[in-house]
Chains A and B, each alone.
Chain A
Amino acid sequence: MMLELIMLLLAGGVVAWQSERFNPNLPRWIAMATVILGMLLLLSTISGIPADTFNMVTEPSKAENWLLYSRHEWIPRFGISLELGMDGLSLLMLILTLALGAIAIVSSWNEIEFNPGLFQANLLWTLTGVIGVFLALDLFLFFLFWEVMLIPMYLLIAIWGHENRGYAAMKFFIFTQVSGLLMLLSIIVLAVQGAGDGDISFSYGDLLGSAPTGKAGMLTMLGFFLAFTVKLPGFPFHTWLPDAHTQAPTAGSVLLAGILLKTGAYGLLRFCIPLFPEASMQFAPIAMTLGTVGIIYGAVLAFAQSDFKRLVAYSSVSHMGFVLLGLYAWNSLALQGAIMQMVAHGVSTAALFMMAGALQHRLHTRDMNRMGGLWYNAPRMGACAMFFAVASLGLPGMGNFVAEFLVLAGLFAVSPWMTAAAAIGLITAAIYSLWLMQKTFQGKPDEERKLQDFDRREMGAMVIMMAALLWLGLYPQPVFDLTQPVLEGLQPLIVNVPETLAGNIPGGTP
């Protein structure tokens, strides 16, 4: 199924691209159909899996423990195979990816006039790469998807971006590519020394527990950490993000914020920490400090922006700081919080970027100083913006609150001071989110302005995202149930956890 899903999206891209010759409206329909087909394929496959498999604790090194697993020989010379595996975490990420992919297509429905076929193709190819990242178990294959998804994303920004697109696209590509090369180096070091005198292998299962110790282990781990934190993005490697977000077309921003950033968090959780337990343990205080600094720094910078998209971009830096904190606190509560943050942030930020795109499409500006009183012109947009702004600031009842609360609760057992500092982020989030609302939708309306309110298509997308956030906030248990076995499988990999990485809090699910 997994290979088929990847192929489906790849082929859908090619078809969408070529269909432009017949009718410029065709590509978006084909892209939509492809994503929906992919979703159906995914759902039909999971409905075929016996329900109790979902509760089984996945031991990552054993093939039979994955929900889905497939392996084909590829480059035997280096022990590289097409090894794909899906567990609860991957499944959650896949659903998020496909859902936000559909949202991205909806958000760009009328926006793209220049070569719509190639646009939709690049969109689908980005999704292909991301899905590959979430499924790959062979580290070589993982790296391949990791890099390949950059190219369509680069093209999305470079071709359909805004005024300063060349600079932004280049910066995005160079940051991720160079950090990716460091990760490639680490992957090879890990595989070569893990092999010893035996056969070399890039398989995740084989490499678990074979990390070098001491300084070498730390350096190798840093290669992974750097690649993932650049993508996350964690402070101080975030500088590419505001530019890329601001210049990308709406759908590009939705994909970037909603999914691409999550690959970084996923990589940390799946690869960086489990592969290097010892080094990660030593490094945890630094990583958590970076997370805390990121939360506050991102929030402060977000407040200083007058560009709608830039503000949301910096708020992402702030929110992803919570993910970094949650991951390195490494207890059930915090990890569940981090995963929940990945999903909730994906949805809420995607919605805010869609809002920004809709505003730019209508007003031809992203400058908040030229907005104000928009609620009067477009009440439906205002209501939606209000909803997602308060979701983003962490109002109880929405997914973001659950996520941030869990991270802080889990973190408190590890480092109370860090928790106190990170909690400031909740206050600053309230400030910039409400500031955003104040500047754009409230205030004195401009009577002259004609603003078309959200139509049915846009409202539909918004309502779906609102429902998702409310569901995550009010009844998050299904998500926890899905990922709990994965975490229980991963957590024993780090044994003898000293004070920095607190032990397992029993009954982690709240």
Chain B
Amino acid sequence: MNEFVAIAPLLMLALGATAVMLQIAFLRSVRLTAVVATVSLLLASASCFYANDTAPLQVGALLQADTYSLLFCILFTLAGAVTCVLSLDYIQHHGDEPEEYFLLLILATLGACVLAYAVHLASLLLGLELLSVSLYALIAYPNRSLLPLEAAIKYLVLSGAASATLLFGFALLYATTGTLHFSELGTALEQSDMGAALPMAGAAMILAGLAFKLSAVPFHLWTPDVYDGAPAPISGFLASVGKAAVFVVLLRLFLEANLFRYERLVELTGLMAILSMLAGNLLALQQTNIKRMLAYSSIAHIGYLLIVFMVCLDLSNRDIAIEAAAFYLIAYTATTLAAFGLLTLINEKRVEREQVQLQHVSGLFWRQPVLAGLMLVALLSLAGIPLTAGFIGKFYIFSAAVSGSNWILLAALIIGSGISIYYYLRVVFYMTKHAEEHKDAIELSPGWSGKALSCLLIASILVLGIMPQSLIAVLGSIL
């Protein structure tokens, strides 16, 4: 019985998915479906607190309910709910039969939550595929235009290749150790020869496969096209939850199977971090399409996050590194959702094209002060300016990297952040252009739900930035 309580969020999401399916079968109504989906996501989020009473608890061989998994479950389900609300107005203009969209969204969230729970390579794969397969369909959902289809195909093919690499890595690990469970892997690897090439190659392949999902350089090539083509709320979901879930499981795999023993492998993550920070920011400079710009900036943010792997090398700094990663993930998720949320509201009425060019937001400050305020806060948070959640996250990463004395990574972080200021502020500059200069601008009339949600997201980013102590205390007590 306790085991059911422990996985209550997962059960809740599965129930929600079933409920939505049944509801669609009997009555097609977008609004109703959206409400059911949102409520079930919120319920799943609430059930995490309920499940917390039994934690930590191993459920079967595959799942582990502990504070770490529950924390991220809350994050993912809330992000899913936000995406639901953002999608509501948007999808009515873009899809023929939009109800199943919400079904897929719940399933994707379920996949992400399974990843948060996963302590076994099998559940890792299950969660990952559940997440990815739902996302293929979600990306291609606006079936009246070409770009989403192209994006989905691209994602499908490349993601398939990544999964194959991942599985090959599993096989190699299994061949040497005979187990797929994270911590058993750890002990088995301990007993096998340290320098054994086979398990290290396996671990490297797993890293590569997951790095693809994280879109860390050099596995990032799909990112801009897919983000650009996907519906804006889904791009936001993909960039926030899609990446955070993979990062969470990657970190857990490294910690529990103690893959930090392969110093070379960890140095590879450091290299990926540097490349992602520099390439992501430099390429973002070139973009005039805001969605593509955010795609490249998300690559850079994964680079910032990957720094924590290098910090984890030293056992004494592991606590602050994990804490930093957790805070950064939360801040990044909120910020990314806010940024893509605005793009969604801009995109709402336009069916043919998904792109939002810089000149489309021209003068937004004077036409839609609330939305522009959201965008300003989100961009400042992405840039890591104080009083926003992004700054505290960056401060955490700085502190972790300083404790670990990773000076090269810090140099890349500073250079990357410096570059990023330019392209974030360029958007702000366009938004502040005077009235006579924004002829290209598009008309906007966001619904109340979008606006309310925007305010909520701004508020949460600011609260996390100004009064982070409560979240920090929570993180400190559970990680």
* Chain A contact residues, CB within 8 Å of chain B: 74-78, 114-115, 140, 143-144, 147-148, 150-151, 154-155, 158-159, 166, 169-170, 173-174, 177-178, 181-182, 184-185, 188-189, 192
Contact = CB atoms under 8 A, between A and B. Distances in A.
B366 A115 contact: yes
Contacts, number: 73
A154 B425 contact: yes
B414 A147 contact: no
A177 B473 contact: no
B429 A166 contact: yes
A170 B425 contact: yes
B386 A148 contact: yes
A144 B385 CA distance: 8
Contacts of B391: 147
Contacts of B472: 75, 77
B458 to A, nearest CB: 15
Given A169-B425, A185-B398, 8 more contacts: A75-B468, A77-B473, A154-B425, A169-B429, A170-B429, A177-B421, A178-B414, A178-B418
Given A143-B386, A177-B418, A185 B366 contact: no
With most chain A CB atoms within 10 A of its CB, the pick from B403, B410, B417, B432 is: B432
Contacts of A173: 421, 425
A166 B422 CA distance: 11
Given A77-B473, A166-B429, A181-B418, A188 B399 contact: yes
B381 to A, nearest CB: 12
A453 to B, nearest CB: 31
A96 B314 CA distance: 49
B403 to A, nearest CB: 6
Given A78-B399, A155-B432, A170-B425, A185 B414 contact: yes
A143 B428 CA distance: 23
Q: Secondary structure at chain B's binding surface: helix, strand, loop or mixed?
A: helix
A77 B432 contact: no
B385 A151 contact: yes
B402 interface: yes
A189 B410 CA distance: 11
Contacts of A159: 432, 434
B275 interface: no
B434 A114 contact: yes
Q: Which 5 A-B pairs give the minimum distances between C-beta atoms?
A: A178-B418, A144-B386, A77-B472, A147-B386, A188-B402
A363 to B, nearest CB: 22
B410 A185 contact: yes
Interface string B366-409: 10000000000000100001110001000100110011000000
B380 A151 contact: yes
A178 B399 contact: no
A170 B422 contact: yes
A143 B385 CA distance: 10
A173 B385 CA distance: 11
B428 A192 contact: no
24 contacts: A74-B469, A75-B468, A76-B469, A77-B469, A77-B476, A144-B387, A147-B391, A148-B385, A150-B385, A158-B432, A159-B432, A170-B422, A170-B425, A170-B426, A174-B425, A177-B385, A178-B414, A182-B414, A184-B395, A184-B398, A188-B399, A189-B402, A192-B399, A192-B402
Nearest to B387: A148
B358 to A, nearest CB: 12
Nearest to B435: A114
Contacts of A115: 366
A115 B435 CA distance: 11
Interface in B336-365: none
Nearest to B413: A181
B139 to A, nearest CB: 34
A92 B472 CA distance: 37
